[in-house]
Amino acid sequence: MLELISLSKTYRTGDAALSDVSLQVPKGQIVGLIGPSGAGKSTLIRCINRLVEPSTGKIELGGVDLVTLGRRDLRKQRRRIGMIFQEYALVERLTVMENVLSGRLGYVPFWRSYLRRFDASDIQRAYQLLDRVGLLDHADKRADALSGGQRQRVGIARALAQDPDLLLVDEPTASLDPKTSRQIMRLLTEICTERDLPAIVNIHDVPLARQFMQRIVGLRAGQIVFDDAPTALTEDALTRIYGAEDWDAMRKGDIDQAEAENDAIRQLAEVGA
Ligand SMILES: Nc1ncnc2c1ncn2[C@@H]1O[C@H](COP(=O)(O)OP(=O)(O)O)[C@@H](O)[C@H]1O
Ligand SMILES: [Mg+2]
């Protein structure tokens, strides 16, 4: 179980990105985090794996307080947290199999030199994961030869290769067409159920969140203004979350997303070193 207790984040620039956010995510539950651009969705996800340092509050994963961890313990705890990104963050010139195996190392840079150290059980597990995400026939293809949907499947398999206790997923379908988006959401939700994995999924697309999430948390200006089943997401509730904006066309944050992701990946690699 993941528990956020009174989590707040104020950036140095003075933006209060999160204010007093408390949230419990039990095992196996997949929470869709929705809200307008700038609401704090990415900040919330990044506080959990400490890509962003929370200003105040607690974050507990299976009883371990993630906020007070030193560098070495943080590195260990981060292995328990699988990240899935909008832009996949694959190593383009490596094979699908190599990308999945890299999940075994967390986000260690220069991990290529470790490649030959994987034992047979790691490789067998990677094949099982590729089979689960429907890419067994693509194991030896280069990542840059895949479609967007296939790339996101590799991203999912890589996160699972970490054997995580939690999945954090930031806009997983924002670069995909509607049909592929539904397939990816279905795969993600099935996998969380199978593995009893808790997950937080940032998602712009309200219809998609409605269709696949068991629970929806709405953020607005850094505060939780909705926390309920998808069926409770009425027009009124959507207005509370998005204001008078057109909630069906909430795709504005996408421009900053790729840049923020590159930043996040760089930071993960630095701490892995
Ligand atoms: N690195 C940063 N430095 C300063 N302010 C930031 C930073 N990242 C995000 N913010 C601000 O924090 C707020 C929440 O942003 P973010 O978490 O990216 O929202 P969302 O993912 O919901 O679009 C916004 O006002 C944004 O401008
Ligand atoms: Mg975001």
Ligand having the closest approach to the CA of 220: 1
Report whether residue 204 contacts ligand 1, using a CB cutoff of 6 Å.
Answer: no
Q: Which of 34, 43, 48, 261 to mutate to test the pocket of ligand 1 (most atoms within 8 A of CB)?
A: 43
Q: 9 and 126 in one domain?
A: no
Residue nearest to atom 16 of ligand 1 (CA): 40
Report whether residue 200 contacts ligand 1, using a CB cutoff of 6 Å.
Answer: no
Q: 181 and 68 in one domain?
A: yes
Residue 37 CA: nearest ligand 1 atom is 23
Report the alpha-carbon distance of residue 124 to residue 27 in Å, rounded.
Answer: 26
Ligand having the closest approach to the CA of 261: 2
Confidence class for position 111, pLDDT limits 50, 70, 90: low
Number of domains in the chain: 3
Q: 151 and 268 in one domain?
A: no
Domain that holds residue 47: 1-80+167-233
Confidence class for position 246, pLDDT limits 50, 70, 90: low
Amino acid 255 reads I
SS (HEC) of the chain: CEEEEEEEEECCCCCEEEEEEEEEECCCCEEEEECCCCCCHHHHHHHHCCCCCCCEEEEEECCEECCCCCHHHHHHHHCCEEEEECCCCCCCCCEHHHHHHHHHHCCCCCHHHHHHHCCHHHHHHHHHHHHHCCCHHHCCCEHHHCCHHHHHHHHHHHHHHCCCCEEEEECCCCCCCHHHHHHHHHHHHHHHHHHCCCEEEECCCHHHHHHHCCEEEEEECCEEEEEECHHHCCHHHHHHHHCCCCHHHCCCCHHHHHHHHHHHHHHHHHHHC
Confidence class for position 263, pLDDT limits 50, 70, 90: low
Residue nearest to atom 7 of ligand 1 (CA): 11
Does 124 have pLDDT greater than 70?
Answer: yes
Question: Across the strands, what pairs with 139?
Answer: none
Q: 119 and 217 in one domain?
A: no
Residue nearest to atom 6 of ligand 1 (CA): 11
> Which residues make up the environment of ion ligand 2, defined by Cβ < 5 Å?
41-42, 253
Report pLDDT for 71: 87
Report the alpha-carbon distance of residue 19 to residue 6 in Å, rounded.
Answer: 8
Segment 17-34 shows an average pLDDT of: 96
Confidence class for position 272, pLDDT limits 50, 70, 90: very low
pTM for the predicted model, two decimal places: 0.88
Which of the listed ranges 13-17, 121-125, 159-163 does the model predict with the highest average pLDDT? 159-163
Among 163, 185, 208, give the residue marking a domain's end. 163
Segment 199-227 shows an average pLDDT of: 95
Q: 50 and 38 in one domain?
A: yes
Report pLDDT for 265: 63
pLDDT tens-digit readout, 58-87: 999 999 999 999 988 998 898 899 999 877
Report pLDDT for 254: 45
Residue nearest to atom 5 of ligand 1 (CA): 11
Ligand having the closest approach to the CA of 8: 1
Q: Which residue has the higher pLDDT, 110 or 229?
A: 229
pLDDT tens-digit readout, 166-196: 999 999 998 899 999 999 999 999 999 999 9
Phi/psi at 36 (5° precision): -65, 165
Q: Specify if 201 maps to a domain.
A: yes
Segment 92-111 shows an average pLDDT of: 76
**Mean pLDDT rounded to a whole number for the chain:** 87
Q: 116 and 104 in one domain?
A: yes
